[in-house]
Amino acid sequence: MSGGAENSIASSSRLSPESQGLIRRLFRFLTRVCALDKRSECPAEYCVLFFVLALTIWAGMLWGVLIGRGALSAGLVPVIEPTPVEARSANCAHTEWHSEVHDLVKLWGFSRETVRQMVKDDPGVIKIRFGLKKSHTTYRIPESAAKRIHSNFGGLESSFSEQHYKIGDLAKRWKLGRETVRLMVKDEPGVVKVRLGRKQSHTAYSVPDAVAKRIHNRLLCPA
């Protein structure tokens, strides 16, 4: 890093006067920082190499932190298949009230993961990814899409906004066993059913208030 090298690079005909001045200042800075250390006897060239290596590692760590937090990868998640025309905002879905996953959790009585599985592949649901993983996806469900999802899993349109009960809730209210309540609701029309595995025993049930009332009245007047 001699003065001759500085002048030969800075005086290149391809560089503008501003660039030549910048290169001269950079060489002077590196010469001061990477001067020969009398104790360690480390040449200036090695100091430059260590400086560039440390700068590269620092930039890589910063990039990794930004990627991990999703700051560099936020964007709309592409839908696997083209969105059907009837699922787009032509049906005024953009003017509807949109629900979050936890809103449907409170309404339908399912777990957060169950609701996420119900809505994640629906073409009318807004999906925004904030990271590289699918688990970093935020969902916004228009009311029309929520009603359609509710109907696809066995629910009635009239009972969409009603309070829904889990089997455990009805078992606790009616002082009956969980299996007894499950047998009572599993084939009842209007009950929302979500299969969580290959076996039928891995099915989650959500019973709307009107359906629960119908089952209860049937118990009061057995045939």
Out of 25-34, 38-47, 167-176, 194-203, pick the least confident.
Answer: 38-47
Q: Considering Cα of 38, then 44, then 47, then 51, what sign does the dihedral take?
A: positive
190 vs 210: CA distance, rounded Å: 9
pLDDT band at 44 (very low <50, low <70, confident <90, very high): low
Report which of 204, 198, 188, 201 is spatially closest to residue 116, judged by C-alpha positions: 204
pLDDT at 10 over 50: no
> Left if phi > 0, otherwise alpha if psi is -120 to 50, otherwise beta: which for 84?
beta
